[in-house]
């Protein structure tokens, strides 16, 4: 009997459902052109447990069945499980774990090297808030985080220090690439898709010279409205 088997029934059920969701969400990364080969990963917190589920390291998107998603503790170590076929979690697991430990409201984390967002990261330049879509989704510029070595806590710390208390759900880690957070895995994936979309559009616009940001009061109004009216979570959308 493995460690996972010994968990209470409802937690094992929650793990199984999270694995289904995380496996399915990985298909969104190649679909929206965010990744080459295996270079991106999604994780999601297991509701009601001190666990999260993340992509195995170095495995292609074609081979991401739910039972291959790796279950981790909050310190980033792997929960042994007879169904996981011995796969190790993503080499970015420490960064995901750090975010979950320090940002309790975060339920999902995504990391990619999506082209245009990473091009901003290569230069250490934020994505300015020059479009209504940036204001809607990120509430202001998408900030740059520090250049950090992979493997210890420095990436996770850089993410948390940059995003804490900010509207933006995306950070461009310098000379590395974007990390996004969200209420759950799907929300973090959406942030990754929109981060690349606005990076691409702004990058192309900037090739002809600087672009003026939106006025701050318009940014505030767009952000407020999008949080409260857009989608199906509120009455009154017009």
Q: Provide the annotated active-site residues.
A: 136, 230
Q: Is residue 127 close enough to count as binding its own copies by CB under 8 A?
A: no
Q: Is residue 183 close enough to count as binding its own copies by CB under 8 A?
A: no
Closest among 199, 180, 3 to 92, alpha carbons compared: 180
Binding piece for its own copies, criterion CB under 8 A, among 8-16, 138-146, 159-167, 190-198 = 190-198
Binding piece for its own copies, criterion CB under 8 A, among 10-18, 44-52, 55-63, 159-167 = 55-63
Q: Is 196 helix (H, G, I), strand (E, B) or coil?
A: helix
Task: For the CB of residue 229, give the shortest distance to its own copies in the complex, in Å.
Answer: 6
* Strand 144-145 relative to strand 70-73, pairing: unpaired
Task: For the CB of residue 20, give the shortest distance to its own copies in the complex, in Å.
Answer: 16
Q: Is residue 142 close enough to count as binding its own copies by CB under 8 A?
A: no
Give the interface size with its own copies as a residue count (CB under 8 A): 68
Cα(192)–Cα(115) distance, integer angstroms: 12
Binds its own copies by CB under 8 A, chosen from 89, 107, 141, 158: 89
Q: Is residue 149 close enough to count as binding its own copies by CB under 8 A?
A: yes
**Nearest CB to its own copies, comparing residues 5 and 224:** 224
Binds its own copies by CB under 8 A, chosen from 14, 51, 53, 59: 59
DSSP secondary structure string for all residues of 30-87: HHTT--STT-EEEEEEPTTSSEEEEPBTT--GGG--GGGSEEEETTSPBPP-GGGTTP
Cα(186)–Cα(38) distance, integer angstroms: 19
Residue 177 and residue 121 in contact, taking contact as beta carbons nearer than 8 Å: yes
Q: Is residue 150 close enough to count as binding its own copies by CB under 8 A?
A: yes
């Amino acid at each position: 009997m493995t460690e996972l088997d010994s968990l209470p029934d409802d937690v094992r059920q929650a793990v199984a459902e999270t694995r289904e969701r995380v496996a399915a969400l990985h298909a969104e990364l190649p679909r929206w052109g965010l990744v080459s080969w295996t270079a991106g990963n999604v994780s999601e917190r297991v509701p009601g447990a001190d666990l999260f589920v993340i992509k195995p390291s170095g495995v292609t998107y074609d081979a991401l069945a739910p039972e291959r998603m790796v279950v981790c503790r909050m310190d980033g170590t792997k929960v042994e499980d007879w169904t996981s076929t011995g796969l190790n979690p993503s080499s970015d697991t420490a960064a995901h774990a750090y975010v979950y430990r320090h940002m309790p409201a975060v339920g999902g984390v995504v990391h990619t090297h999506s082209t245009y967002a990473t091009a901003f990261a290569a230069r250490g330049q934020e994505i300015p808030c020059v479009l209504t879509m940036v204001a809607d989704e990120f509430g202001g510029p998408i900030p740059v985080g520090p250049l950090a070595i992979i493997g210890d806590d420095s990436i996770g710390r850089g993410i948390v220090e940059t995003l804490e208390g900010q509207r933006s759900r995306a950070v461009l880690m310098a000379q590395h690439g974007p990390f996004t957070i969200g209420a759950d895995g799907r929300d973090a994936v959406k942030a990754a898709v929109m981060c690349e979309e606005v990076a691409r559009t702004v990058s192309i616009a900037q090739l002809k010279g600087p672009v003026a940001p939106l006025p701050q009061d318009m940014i505030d109004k767009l952000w407020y409205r999008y949080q409260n009216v857009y989608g199906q979570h509120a009455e009154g959308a017009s």
